[in-house]
């Protein structure tokens, strides 16, 4: 990996961490995990995203994504656009571990 790739990965990791923290902050206290599905498309140069935050535990409360999430995802999209293919969808999973610390993972689809 070259320095340019390392820099992009570092920037991406920082944005991913901010997104995960925003998801955690938006979830009700009794949730121990959450999943955010994002579908992204671009029509005539206009980017649109559909975002759904749900509970893998089956909690029925709807979660509205914070405005910060939209801003961070736009930033992430621009980061990818600068030097590679932009993702079409992604899924963030956040969950508390056995020590009640929040961990996350993210999967991209191109």
DSSP 29: T
Residue 77 to residue 73: CA distance in whole angstroms: 6
Instruction: State the residue range of the domain holding 71.
Output: 3-109
Residue found under tokens 């999209």 = 77
Per-residue pLDDT of the chain (110 residues; tens, 9 = 90+): 677 677 889 999 999 999 999 999 999 999 999 999 999 998 888 999 999 999 999 999 879 999 999 999 999 999 999 877 899 999 999 999 999 999 999 999 99
DSSP H helices in 1-110: 3-26, 67-83
- Which pTM does this prediction carry? 0.91
Domain total of the chain: 1
For residues 2-20, one letter each, b for 16 or more C-beta atoms within 10 angstroms of the residue's C-beta and e for the rest, the string is eeeeeebeeebeebbebbb
CATH assignment at residue 26? 3.30.500
């Amino acid at each position: 990996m070259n320095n340019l790739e390392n820099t992009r990965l570092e920037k991406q990791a920082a944005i991913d961490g901010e997104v995960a923290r925003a998801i955690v902050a938006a979830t009700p206290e009794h949730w121990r995990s959450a999943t955010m599905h994002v579908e992204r498309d671009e029509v005539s140069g206009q980017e649109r995203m559909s975002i759904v935050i749900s509970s893998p535990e089956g909690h029925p409360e709807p979660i509205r994504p914070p405005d910060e999430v939209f801003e961070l995802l736009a930033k992430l999209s621009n980061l990818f656009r600068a030097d590679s293919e932009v993702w079409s969808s992604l899924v963030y999973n956040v969950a508390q571990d056995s020590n009640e610390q929040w961990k996350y993972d993210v999967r991209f689809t191109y």
